[in-house]
Structure 1
Amino acid sequence: MKRYACIESPLGVITIQVNDEGVLGVWFESQTTQPEQLGSQSDDCPIINKVKQQLDEYFSRQRTSFDLPLAAQGTKFQTQVWHALTTIPYGTSISYQELAERIGNPKAVRAVGLANGKNPISIIVPCHRVIGKNGKLTGYAGGMDRKMKLLKLEGVME
């Protein structure tokens, strides 16, 4: 059964969606990757409560990695890319080219970019840590302003 909750964050309202296996999605209010059906609203769900706590710790700079069960649904390729995103350490960034190389498919830079853009679990699966090869910020489903703020929070950008 899918459940969700909305929370306030320093970057605006965040919607958290979970099922019995884990986190399905974490979205900012303006994000286009949100599902049509969120499930039932829940203010008392152990997984949602754990996500809330860890996001609070992240935004207050007390947490640099997340320890949550993830249950995002996507293609085999997308889930491979999303898993690779979880290996990018806090406070660092990599290029789309480097991400493609990490999954063993260096020619799939564009496909990696598309999969990165479809990541449903913002912040926790840190797609914001992927930037252009030239060091410039590139697209982010949550908005470029939020991407910049997340990278500043982690000390990647000044």
Structure 2
Amino acid sequence: MTVGTYPTKAGFFMEKLDREAGSTAVQIILCPDVYPISPVRAGDEKVDAVFTVIRDADFSVVNFEIPLTDRGVAVPKLLNIKGPPAAAEGLSSLGFSVASLANNHAGDYGWDGLVDTRRALEAQSIQVVGMGETLGEALRPVVTDVKSSASA
């Protein structure tokens, strides 16, 4: 298996993991912090320049860094960020398979913000990891078939 780091026009890096050349090659993209504050859709030239690599991958994981909520109260910390739930619209067209909410901003607006974010992502057919009503749920991996191979 090889790992490469690829710069994007947005100025961040994505980790690309794929098997050596062969008929069962699987391309996996690990994408760093994403924090949309308004709906983003495929078809926009600037969006497509960044997300073509993700859409073309067999499987992708993104660190979803921003709560999408109109509820909750900001937790006491130096910086709290959030966006409206509508910002999730169109995210599935960008190619994300899984979003992780296990990061330093997902809980900026408490439990309500986390739940709203999970619901917004799941409504876009993006599976969520790293949060749950129990520790077991939060730690549960996503297991999916990618080109007839089970991946976690």
Higher helix share: 1
Higher strand share: 2
Query: Which protein shows a greater Rg?
Result: 2
TM-score when scaled to structure 2? 0.30
TM-score when scaled to structure 1? 0.29
